[in-house]
Structure 1
Amino acid sequence: MTDAAPGATSAPRAPGDSTGGPPGASSPVVPSDVPHHRTAGDGWVECACGRRHWGRFGAAGLLLVRRDASGSPTAVVLQHRAPWSDQGGTWGLPGGALAPDEDAVTGALREAAEEAGIDPSHVRPTGSSMLRHPDWSYTTVLADEIHPAEPTATDAESVEVRWVPVDEVADLPLLAAFGDAWPDLRRRLEAGPDAADEVAGGAPTA
């Protein structure tokens, strides 16, 4: 799915690509009086797709799932974005820019620890879904909770971070790109941790 008007040429939005705006779009400004994390990968990529993406070396986010005794997904961890941020007030995944030479799993776990206080030893990565653009990529890392994880907002980027029942995710005001991706991501969660990794192309399909 794209966010372009019918007949326009555009590229799909990535689940954690909060801007997706055209070159020249303004970046979110972090208030000076609140703590936030920095990485060497912070910065914009002017992509050949015509959009501007955050993360000089790509970006990644963590989709952490809690399962019941039968293995069915019951809840996922979502981040309620701060009002000052782009698409503020929406819900999405904890995640962000990758550091130089950092793989997507390592980056997603680091971002989840920084933004949501999630201990990497409490989760088990089970797969990933990558969206490729000409000059940028976003990877959603799927993971199962293996020890109790109690997420909490730990920096200025979040109003709150909490477990959200799977059946209630679609009722929230979702980050636009995450809303696009959620039906497929839910299908993968319901298929179980053995579902194959997927790679999506950056060209529009409709």
Structure 2
Amino acid sequence: MDHSPASTQSSTPPVRMGPRDPGDAWVEGERGRYWGRFGAAGVLAYDPAKGVLLQHRAIWSHNGGTWGLPGGALHEGEDAVVGALREAYEEAAVPAESVDVLFTSVLDLGYWSYTTVVVLATEPFDPVISDPESIELLWIPLADVERQELHPGFAAAWPALRERLAAGA
């Protein structure tokens, strides 16, 4: 499959091959519509020498074209840290063995939750676009994150996440 930037700029999602996980579904409630029947989670990878790893989201995805975190829907009964690391590996080849969890931050809406898992890169790694959900993956210095067009959920969470990172978690 072609994972070049041109292939991810289409407004149409790729044809899904194989069975979907039961967690891959929208949930709706009084505060909006969110992806992940059992919630969702993502990884904010931090390397003090490079900054944070951000994903430029495919145009066809929810809030496509914005910058956010590699992550996605949790599987039924899956721990949020495990799910975030699984998703980050699937989408960006973030190696779980090369990161340490610093802290988690949870947005809980009652009917849906999102867990940001903040990790420290203990060994340098290069992210790899390994599925069609990314246009680009880049290490962005902390001071430059706000200069990106951020996914609205990540934009709302970033100031508190940045503060905790700056304070040494």
Residue in 2 aligned with 1:125? Answer: 101
Matched, 1:174 2:150: yes
Residue in 1 aligned with 2:52? Answer: 76
- Determine if contact 1:150/1:162 at 8 Å carries over to the other structure: no
Question: Unpaired runs of 5+ in structure 1?
Answer: 1-27, 69-73, 196-206
Secondary structure at 2:125 match in 1: coil
Which structure's CA Rg is the greater one?
1
Percent identity, aligned pairs only, is 50
Q: Deviations over 1:14-57 (max 9, x none)?
A: xxxxxxxxxxxxxx95222x87995331111122x341111111
**Which TM-score applies when normalising by structure 1?**
0.72
Runs of 4+ in structure 1 deviating by more than 6 angstroms, as ranges, are 34-37
Matched, 1:161 2:137: yes
1:188 to 152, 164, 167: 164
Question: Unpaired runs of 5+ in structure 2?
Answer: 1-10
Residue in 1 aligned with 2:14? Answer: 31
Distance 1:89 1:95 in 2: 15
Letter in 1 for 2:79: D
Higher share in helix: 2
Secondary structure at 2:14 match in 1: coil
Letter in 1 for 2:14: P
Residue in 2 aligned with 1:62? Answer: 43
- Determine if contact 1:36/1:156 at 8 Å carries over to the other structure: no
Aligned length: 159
